[in-house]
Amino acid sequence: MSEGCEETPPRNGEGDRPAQPGGGGARPSPFGAPSKTVRMARRERRSGNLPEVVLWRELRKRPDGFKFRRQHPLGAYSLDFACLEARLCVEVDGEHHARGDRPAADVARDHSVAERGFATLRIPAREVLAELSMVVTAIVAACRERAPLHHRPVAGGPPPRAGEVL
């Protein structure tokens, strides 16, 4: 061993890769969302408008066993609600979605989301506030239509057969 050249091994998580600007540790989004979209989604989760907050209170109860995410980043967009199992995007639209260039922007957004395998269900905000139970029923029905053919086994049931990966 040479004198004065003693190197200490790197700590856990450190290696021979150079440091990245802005730090590291953040995982890239599995849905191809840029970090700008992820930051926007986090900000939207904290703010939220009344119809979204009211609907989230119901959807977070996992109606009919479907799990929903709120303000889920997907590509360049942040989806109001997403059921990943059913690949369904639920958008709560206020009155501004019928004005100006918003209808064309919504069509482009729906097309981009569809290219990633998600269907979009658009619900007017006034319906969420007026008929919440009917809206949740419609969302669950849309999830059932799109749900996969193979469901997770019940707790304590047999494991899936070879080749059936859930």
Q: How confident is the model at residue 75 (pLDDT cuts 50, 70, 90)?
A: confident
Alpha-carbon span 60 to 57, nearest angstrom: 6
pLDDT at 127: 95
Residue 115 confidence (pLDDT) above 90: yes
Q: What is the residue extent of each domain of the chain?
A: 48-146
In 3D, which of 156, 154, 35 has the Cα closest to residue 166?
154
Higher model confidence: residue 166 or residue 128? 128
Confidence (pLDDT) at 144: 94
- pLDDT reading at 65 higher than 60: yes
Average pLDDT over residues 109-126: 93
C-alpha distances (whole Å) from 2 to each of 5, 8, 9, 113 are 6, 14, 16, 60
Please enumerate in sequence order all residues whose Cβ is within 8 A of that of 56, keeping only pairs 6 or more positions apart, or say none: 48, 68, 70, 81
Which range has the worst mean pLDDT, 4-18, 75-89, 99-113, 126-140?
4-18
Between 23-27, 91-95, 152-156, the lowest mean confidence (pLDDT) is in 23-27
Poorest-pLDDT segment among 12-26, 42-56, 64-78, 143-157: 12-26
Compute the C-alpha angle 104/108/109, nearest 5°.
115
Tokens of 116: 């990633």
Torsion, Cα 125 126 132 134, to 10 degrees, reads -100
Give residue 77's pLDDT band: very low, low, confident or very high (50, 70, 90).
confident
Q: Tell me, what's the pLDDT at 40? A: 64
- Homologous superfamily of the 48-146 domain (CATH): VSR Endonuclease (3.40.960.10)
* pLDDT digit string, tens, across residues 118-133: 999 999 999 999 999 9
- Measuring CA to CA, which residue among 111, 125, 49, 100 is closest to residue 75? 111
| Res 56 pLDDT > 60 | yes
CA-closest candidate to residue 94, choices 45, 144, 129, 140:
129
The C-alpha R_g of the chain, in whole angstroms, comes to: 22
Tell me the average pLDDT across 1-20: 57
